[in-house]
Amino acid sequence: IERQLRRDKKDARREFKLLLLGTGESGKSTFIKQMRIIHGSGYSDEDRKGFTKLVYQNIFTAMQAMIRAMDTLRIQYVCEQNKENAQLIKEVEVDKVCALSRDQVEAIKQLWEDPGIQECYDRRREYQLSDSAKYYLSDLDR
């Protein structure tokens, strides 16, 4: 028991505790994740699967936000087909998304290329849209 206590004490001396303070969305979790990647074993397969799902959900969340903003800002789609594409994307329950179907990818691509959606994106300061929206939507095939 004494030997184990000495070992635990020695291990505890090498351990640092850090209190991270900051407002919401200030990067506290991101900092911890980056430290784990750099100094730890990186991401597990489970983590990667979770992030993939999160990326897909972020894509739908961003596009749905822009579709809603199109109505609010009274911006018209240039391509009539995008009214149907918008309806298809609006019907998706974001929290249940695990993958993107080919139809959904094509609908999102066509919407993103529409000059009306691009105008809506340019006016993103008038509604809430993730900073990463353009990154994800510009290269869906990635």
**Annotated binding residues:** 25-30, 131-132
Q: What angle do CA 109, 110, 116 make, to 5 degrees?
A: 115
Q: Return the DSSP state at 96.
A: G
Closest CA to 71 of 120, 137, 125: 120
CB-CB contact of 107 with 89 (8 Å)? yes
Tokens of 61: 């969340």
* Helices 81-90 and 45-72: angle between axes, nearest 10 degrees: 130
What does the alpha-carbon distance between residue 128 and residue 136 come to, in Å, rounded to a whole number? Answer: 16
Q: Which residue positions form the known binding site for GTP?
A: 25-30, 131-132
Q: Which residue positions form the known binding site for Mg(2+)?
A: 29
Q: What angle do CA 17, 23, 27 make, to 5 degrees?
A: 65
